[in-house]
Amino acid sequence: MSTNTVTSTNEEPILEAVHLRKEFPLRKVNLFGPPRAVHAVEDASLALRPGHATALVGESGSGKTTVARLLASLYTPSAGTIRFQKEVVKTRGEAALRAYRRHVQMIFQDPFSSLNSVHTVRYHLSRPLRIYGHAHSAAEETRLVTSLLERVNLTPAEQYMPKYPHQLSGGQRQRVAIARALAAMPSVLLADEPVSMLDVSIRLDVLNLLIRLKEEEDLALLFITHDIASARYFAEETLVMYAGQLVEGGPSEEVIQRPKHPYTQLLLSAAPDPDRFGSTDQHGGRKETPWAQPVLAVDGSGEPSSLINPPSGCRFHPRCPYAKPVCRQQFPPRTELDGRHWVHCFLYGAENKTHLSEISLASPSVGQASPENSPLR
Amino acid sequence: MIDTQIRTNTLLEVKHLSVDYESARGAVHAVTDVSFAIERGQILGLAGESGSGKSTLAYAIARLLQPPAVVTQGQVLFYPSKLPVRLDKTSKDDAVLDVLALNPAQLRAFRWHDLSIVFQSAMNALNPVLDIEVQITDVLHSHNPQMTRQEARSRAVELLRLVGIAPDRLHSYPHELSGGMRQRAIIAIALALDPEIIIMDEPTTALDVVVQRDILAQIMRLRNDFGFSVIFITHDLSLLLEIADTIAIMYAGSIVEMATQENLYRHPRHPYTHGLLNSFPSLRGPRRRRVSIPGSPPDLRSVPPGCAFHPRCAFSFAACHTIQPTLLHVPCEGAKGCIEAPRVDSLSAGKRVTHVACHLYDATLNPEGPPESLESENVNQHCNVNQ
């Protein structure tokens, strides 16, 4: 199984985050109380490679957007380093930022608010060309804007140039936003939920466009999404984030077909999956699976924990049916599994092998989505 | 025989309903000639992209449309099973309620008592300055003035329990609840008077998948316990395939295909349905490049003549450009082409019949029958799963 999923690991990462941490300080309620903060990202490490897409999957509030913004240098990390082409990124000063953003660009979720409504498409695309010194004359600018619009399939380009954002549909706006990011001629694209605001039939178009750009221009892509199915479609590598902690990662097929962390299993079992309704009986009536039973023995509210006072240790432990005392005390170390798949969970340490077999027998199947991929095989 | 069956099982019937939005630049035909029927206890899914008219249709059924929206033609018939204390009994036929002809007093009795609605954005649907108890008991008091405060409160507690909120949240304000809890509270209010049908307009769209699944499971449980019908509106077809009994696909204001969830998934007929099903990346099976539907949805002010989908359709032929398709009955498996003339009165999709508005299935316009490539395109998805 691992043979087809192993991709070129030897490719050097172009953008690397090492032990990133971000806290947002909160205003004190009690003047003499301890300082409080939202612990948005805790010890995140990831690497982006040219021509590869990495998906970052998680629920809202899991800190995935914060990671993208840290990488885009829109926030400064509280701790940890970001390395671009092996050099530590300096984020002090306008010139250093500009030099960095020449290579690392971001696409935002909402194409309705990320474009300036008083400027034309041409203006949006010519600004980065001028700022980053790619266009020196009006003629060159027109040529480059035309080619940008053609690269994102907005043709005929001359027709789109004088248009304002309100004259474009959602999908067309997102294409303009992508073209604007490409105008800087970056080597890394950070896409923060680029398709979740778009209509279903348009989504695939934009995803396919990003895949094509990735392949043709050897871009390194970070794809942030809450939709694990599109992560599978889009990205070679998938990272799963819960409450600010990266809990599992590896080749997308590995992570999605053989999820290890209980949270990943929960996410997968909750994702809509039309194939599951194949459980209709002969009379066409619906069997009471899977709706009759709760997805997982999660706590009543079924929602992620607060990031102001996050649970100690593994932040998933209050919802985890397999939680052990040790999960409360410390965050589990990274366990390497087969095929570049890794997980932060005490269930998978070498010393826990005996414990594992007990669990797989005693507990109900977590990954209902795929019984053949028994979670703790 | 057939007629009596419709009378007993059918709860709501929509006949030839059209809704326009009047605008200075001409009328926007948001809903065009839509007909369907819902049986008791059934979940009908309405799927379509934004602007396909699914919300407008639901609002028209609930009589919630405000000018400039105008119902230009059609009927909404409701067959109540419980005999409520109607404020006045002017209509001679008690068994049928013509929703679009109700006077304000009747409408007030009809809404919430017979039909309730769950809106998409719970934050906007709840009043931020009133706590949950007030908002639930408000419904009870206004429809049932003789109810005591104590009774109303205990009913409110019971409703919160039903939707899975701890009763101690009764005095919480909307901002103190999480997104999922707010949506549950809205569902509790919709259930307050034990309605026969609930319209849910994208009830889980803004929620995370785990919360979404919890709430959907809750809705399914409540439906099994109380037997109400649901019109479930969403753009997420993969979700509908799991929960709905019958699914209607809307495109540019019309229903283009209506079938049971299984038939829709296994044997989709309309090229647009094929395209939609293909637009969702799947969690299983081979990872393959998917092709999206080319183009974008039409401007409803100037819908293309003939079939509204023809400019985006790979299979369109001459007739599609000129003749507007009507819903045909097509067998779900085996034989191709139309089996009988369209009959609007029995438009609730049966187990073996799919309703599709496409000339490919019309034997007179397209004698060869639908192309093979359309037939085989989508089935492979499910074949791989069982291996």
Ranking A255-259, A283-287, B369-373 by mean pLDDT, the lowest is: A283-287
Mean pLDDT to the nearest integer, A339-349: 88
d(CA B316, CA B311): 8
| pTM, 2 dp | 0.81
Is the pLDDT reported for residue A110 higher than 90? no
Ranking A46-55, A157-166, A181-190, B354-363 by mean pLDDT, the lowest is: B354-363
CA angle A218, A223, A228 (to 5 degrees): 130
Q: How far is CA B140 from CA B126, B149, B222, B325, in A?
A: 16, 10, 19, 46
Residue B331 falls inside a structural domain: yes
| Same domain as B380, residue B285 | yes
d(CA A156, CA A142): 13
Mean pLDDT to the nearest integer, B156-164: 89
**Other C-beta atoms lying within 10 Å of the C-beta of residue A262:** 29
A301 touches chain B (CB under 8 A): yes
Is the pLDDT reported for residue A34 higher than 90? no
Ranking A187-191, A242-246, B181-185, B328-332 by mean pLDDT, the lowest is: B328-332
Ranking A7-11, A117-121, B63-67, B123-127 by mean pLDDT, the lowest is: A7-11
What is the domain extent for residue B166?
A: 124-194
Residue B200 falls inside a structural domain: no
> What type of residue sits at position A80?
G
Check CB contact under 8 Å for A229 and B281: yes
Residue-wise pLDDT tens digits, B95-119: 788 888 888 888 888 888 889 999 8
Residue-wise pLDDT tens digits, A306-341: 788 888 888 888 888 888 888 888 888 888 888 889
The confidence score (pLDDT) of residue A83 equals 92
The confidence score (pLDDT) of residue B22 equals 87
Residue B316 falls inside a structural domain: yes
End-to-end CA distance of chain B: 44
For helices B209-226 and B149-163, the axis angle rounded to 10 degrees is 120
Give strand pairing partners of B260.
B246
A371 touches chain B (CB under 8 A): no
The confidence score (pLDDT) of residue B4 equals 41
What is the domain extent for residue A164?
A: 118-185
Is the pLDDT reported for residue A369 higher than 50? no
pLDDT band at A190 (very low <50, low <70, confident <90, very high): very high
Mean pLDDT to the nearest integer, A121-150: 92
Residue B151 falls inside a structural domain: yes
pLDDT top residue among A377 and B186: B186
CA angle B379, A292, B205 (to 5 degrees): 65
Check CB contact under 8 Å for B216 and A294: no
> Nearest Cβ partner of B236 from A267, A272, A280?
A272
Residue A281 falls inside a structural domain: no
Q: Among A57, A175, A196, A199, pick the best mutation site for testing chain B contact (most B Cβ within 10 A).
A: A199
The confidence score (pLDDT) of residue A223 equals 94
Q: How many domains does chain A have?
A: 2
Choosing from A151, A185, A219, the residue where a domain stops is A185
Is the pLDDT reported for residue A301 higher than 80? no
The confidence score (pLDDT) of residue B384 equals 33
**Other C-beta atoms lying within 10 Å of the C-beta of residue A88:** 11
A337 touches chain B (CB under 8 A): no
Q: How many domains does chain B have?
A: 2
Is the pLDDT reported for residue A362 higher than 60? no
Choosing from B165, B194, B223, the residue where a domain stops is B194
Q: Among A210, A301, A307, A316, pick the best mutation site for testing chain B contact (most B Cβ within 10 A).
A: A301
Residue B235 falls inside a structural domain: no
Is the pLDDT reported for residue A270 higher than 80? yes
d(CA A340, CA A5): 9
Residue A134 falls inside a structural domain: yes
Residue B57 falls inside a structural domain: no
pLDDT top residue among A371 and B288: B288
Residue B37 falls inside a structural domain: no
Check CB contact under 8 Å for A295 and B213: yes
pLDDT band at A276 (very low <50, low <70, confident <90, very high): low
Ranking A9-18, B204-213, B334-343 by mean pLDDT, the lowest is: B334-343
A72: left (phi over 0), alpha (psi -120 to 50) or beta: alpha
A298 touches chain B (CB under 8 A): yes
pLDDT band at A281 (very low <50, low <70, confident <90, very high): very low
The confidence score (pLDDT) of residue B242 equals 86
Residue A210 falls inside a structural domain: no
Residue A208 falls inside a structural domain: no
Check CB contact under 8 Å for B296 and A298: no
Residue-wise pLDDT tens digits, B137-151: 998 888 888 888 899
Q: Which of A130-144, A274-288, B298-312 has the highest mean pLDDT?
A: A130-144
Contact residues, chain B, for A275 at CB < 8 Å: 282-284, 381-382, 385
End-to-end CA distance of chain A: 14
pLDDT band at B200 (very low <50, low <70, confident <90, very high): very high
Distance to chain B for A87, nearest Cα, Å: 36
Ranking A91-105, B285-299, B326-340 by mean pLDDT, the lowest is: B326-340
What ipTM was predicted for this assembly? 0.77
The confidence score (pLDDT) of residue A279 equals 45
Choosing from B194, B212, B242, the residue where a domain stops is B194
| Same domain as B284, residue B190 | no
Q: How far is CA A214 from CA A154, A227, B263, in A?
A: 18, 20, 37
Is the pLDDT reported for residue B327 higher than 70? yes
Give strand pairing partners of A191.
A107, A223
Rounded to 10 degrees, what is the CA torsion of A89, A95, A100, A105? Answer: 140
| Same domain as B377, residue B290 | yes
Check CB contact under 8 Å for A277 and B242: yes
Sheet holding B69-78, edge to edge: B28-39, B10-21, B69-78, B97-98
Is the pLDDT reported for residue A295 higher than 60? no
The structure tokens listed for A84 are: 């671009």
Mean pLDDT to the nearest integer, A267-291: 57
Mean pLDDT to the nearest integer, A257-262: 90
Q: How far is CA B85 from CA B94, B114, B227, in A?
A: 12, 12, 21
pLDDT band at A250 (very low <50, low <70, confident <90, very high): very high
Nearest CA in chain A to B222: A292
Is the pLDDT reported for residue B7 higher than 70? no
Residue B343 falls inside a structural domain: yes
Ranking A273-277, B208-212, B263-267 by mean pLDDT, the lowest is: A273-277
The confidence score (pLDDT) of residue B202 equals 86
> What type of residue sits at position A149?
L
Residue the block writes with tokens 């053609």: A150
Strand spans (E) along chain A: 15-25, 37-48, 53-57, 79-84, 87-88, 104-107, 188-192, 220-225, 237-242, 245-251, 334-336, 342-344
Residue A124 falls inside a structural domain: yes
Choosing from B139, B160, B194, the residue where a domain stops is B194
Mean pLDDT to the nearest integer, B281-301: 80
Is the pLDDT reported for residue A305 higher than 50? yes
Ranking B138-152, B211-225, B268-282, B350-364 by mean pLDDT, the lowest is: B350-364
d(CA B379, CA B367): 24
Is the pLDDT reported for residue B1 higher than 50? no
CA angle B102, B103, B105 (to 5 degrees): 110
pLDDT top residue among A6 and A342: A342
Q: Among A273, A288, A296, A366, pick the best mutation site for testing chain B contact (most B Cβ within 10 A).
A: A273
Residue A79 falls inside a structural domain: no
| Same domain as A181, residue A250 | no
State chain A's mean pLDDT as an integer: 81
Contact B330, B338 (CB under 8 A): yes
A320 touches chain B (CB under 8 A): no
Nearest CA in chain A to B161: A300
Residue A152 falls inside a structural domain: yes
Could you tell me which of B168, B148, B164, B50 has the C-alpha nearest to residue A301?
A: B164
Distance to chain A for B353, nearest Cα, Å: 14
pLDDT band at B352 (very low <50, low <70, confident <90, very high): low
Mean pLDDT to the nearest integer, B343-357: 62
Is the pLDDT reported for residue A192 higher than 80? yes
pLDDT top residue among B3 and B300: B300
Is the pLDDT reported for residue B259 higher than 80? yes
| Same domain as A355, residue A250 | yes
Nearest CA in chain B to A154: B295
Give strand pairing partners of B234.
B47
pLDDT band at B175 (very low <50, low <70, confident <90, very high): confident
The confidence score (pLDDT) of residue A55 equals 94
Choosing from A185, A206, A228, the residue where a domain stops is A185
